[in-house]
Amino acid sequence: MLRGVERWRGGEVRHVEDHVAEEVPVAFVYNDQPFAVMMATPADIADFATGFALSEGIVERLADVSVEHIETFIEGIEVRLRIPAARAQALARRRRSMAGRSGCGVCGSELLEAALRYPPPVASDVRVTTAALRRALGELRAAQALTALTGAAHAAGWMAVDGSLLLAREDVGRHNALDKLIGAMAAAGHQPEAGFLVVTSRASYEMAMKAASAGISFMAAISAPTALAISLAEHADLTLLGFARDDGQAVYTHPRRLLADRPAASGDTGASAGTPP
């Protein structure tokens, strides 16, 4: 979205058109019952809806949720979903009115036990080299079109074991970006044991919870983790990295999954085939 802005630089003031990230209310309605309203970027809404249902434990598999209708109003976007009756009953028991701010998934929880949820240990056990991690960071940066335009979005990327980018989603909310990615992964049939996650945000409790709930065993964050995220990752056997950069990273839990680059063999000059040293 373009908006007029006064840009002050070097003692000069210019009136220019600037790209601004959109943020709208998105309401999730399950079996005709309102459940949550999240503030989100109005893109990849079907992925957002299914990913949220999976990461929040509303359903356990993609086959148990269907998006019946997405409608845009002046006030925002409404997504109507259908889940099995037993799941709807369980949802009613843990019902919470979540008026989230940019994807705050625990806002509005009525009870402490509803706010904190520890998923079971992940079953996958991917191994990632530091070279693959560096490649992943670069490929995710290049895929952040919304961030490049606005500077106001987070991204979540699903990477192959070699660090190549398979899927990326962006949103003004870091939780939303991850939910959109989880929904897109499920729709595309990507399995958690075949890759790893990179996010361009801090690793909060809920980011770690959503990753582990999706069966992801390796998560790298550009910024810092929180103490509660580290605790959850330790419990869920999730390898959690923070401060992921091209020149290094901090490994907070389960470091066995991060492998150092293979050292050059004796006599190896590092030149590729056909390239003079």
Give the whole-angstrom CA distance, residue 129 versus residue 114. 37
Q: Which helix H or strand E contains 17, and what residues bound it?
A: strand 12-19
Q: Which helix H or strand E contains 175, and what residues bound it?
A: helix 174-188
Give the whole-angstrom CA distance, residue 34 versus residue 79. 10
Q: Which helix H or strand E contains 240, and what residues bound it?
A: strand 239-245
**Separation in Å, CA 255 to CA 218, 220, 249:** 10, 12, 11
Q: For residue 31, how many other CB atoms are within 10 A of its CB?
A: 17
Catalytic residue, candidates 40, 79, 104, 240: 104
Q: Catalytic annotation on 107?
A: no
Contact indicator for 83, 58 with CB cutoff of 8 Å: yes
Give the whole-angstrom CA distance, residue 230 versus residue 234. 6
Q: Name the packing angle between helices 205-213 and 174-188 (round to 10°).
A: 10
Backbone angles phi, psi at 129, to 5 degrees: -85, 160
Give the whole-angstrom CA distance, residue 59 versus residue 29. 14
Contact indicator for 233, 254 with CB cutoff of 8 Å: yes
**Identity of the amino acid at 26:** V
CA 189 to chain CA centroid, nearest Å: 17
Q: What are the catalytic residues?
A: 104
